[in-house]
């Protein structure tokens, strides 16, 4: 098999080189090629690694873990929970902005594009980086989780003082990959309408994150998007 050279920010390309050349990643690429021949796949190819291209390895201060990209037309752009400008905000994102307003008094923005957060060091990472249109979970178990677990492990091992926001049971299961002696874990229910009232609303994670960053002498995240 030939080596894979993805279009991904330089620091990540170096740190994840072993992953890109692993057998599972070769098989994942073959799966995606075949998948795109039959179905529409989100996000578009150039945006699959958008989270990494917006937030370099050394810039990461916060990691927010999602599960799958949005599977509706025009929604996914490689940043978990985020949608491009002009796309209606999905229910989970509406609830995220509701908690942001309750926590910090920041009004919900018109756009659901979270790229401003990413540019400040919030890695908006989905466990699975692609999905078949209108079929949630369709690309789970194909290799992406091995790759993104490696991302989390690398951050845990090679960085310190990172704030991990684990919303929901799926994200919280990733805590096993994180050295909790050198990083911070903030847990809450998932912001989905099915679970937000069970511990997401009132979690105060936005202010708590900034309090931790301040203790480390780091600049706050400006959570306001407008």
Indicate which residues carry an active-site annotation.
Answer: 68
What are the phi and psi torsion angles at 63 (to 5°)?
-120, 120
DSSP type of residue 5: -
Question: CB–CB of 216/161 below 8 Å?
Answer: yes
Phi-psi region of 81 (alpha: psi -120 to 50; beta: other; left: phi over 0): left
Q: How far from the centroid of its chain's Cα atoms is residue 130's Cα?
A: 12
Give the HSE-up count for residue 53: Cα atoms under 13 Å, Cβ half-sphere.
Answer: 11
For residue 199, give both structure tokens. Answer: 């511990």
C-alpha span between 187 and 203 (Å, rounded): 8
């Amino acid at each position: 098999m030939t080596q894979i050279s993805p279009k991904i920010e330089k620091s990540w390309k170096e740190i994840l080189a072993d992953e890109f050349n692993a057998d599972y990643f070769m098989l994942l690429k073959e799966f995606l090629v075949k998948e795109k021949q039959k179905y529409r796949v989100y996000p578009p190819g150039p945006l699959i690694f958008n989270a990494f291209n917006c937030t370099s390895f050394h810039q990461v201060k916060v990691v927010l873990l999602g599960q799958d990209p949005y599977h509706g037309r025009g929604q996914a752009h490689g940043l978990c929970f985020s949608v491009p400008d002009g796309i209606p905000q999905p229910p989970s994102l509406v609830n995220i902005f509701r908690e942001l307003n309750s926590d910090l008094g920041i009004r919900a923005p018109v756009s659901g594009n979270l790229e401003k957060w990413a540019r400040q060091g919030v890695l908006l990472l989905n466990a699975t980086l692609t999905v078949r249109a209108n079929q949630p979970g369709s690309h789970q178990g194909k290799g992406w989780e091995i790759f993104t677990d490696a991302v989390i492990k690398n951050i845990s091992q090679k960085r310190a003082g990172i704030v991990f926001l684990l919303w929901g049971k799926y994200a919280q299961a990733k805590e096993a990959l994180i050295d909790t002696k050198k990083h911070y874990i903030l847990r809450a229910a998932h912001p989905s309408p099915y679970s937000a009232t069970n511990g997401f609303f009132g979690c105060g994670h936005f202010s708590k994150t900034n309090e931790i960053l301040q203790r480390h002498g780091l600049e706050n995240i400006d959570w306001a998007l407008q």
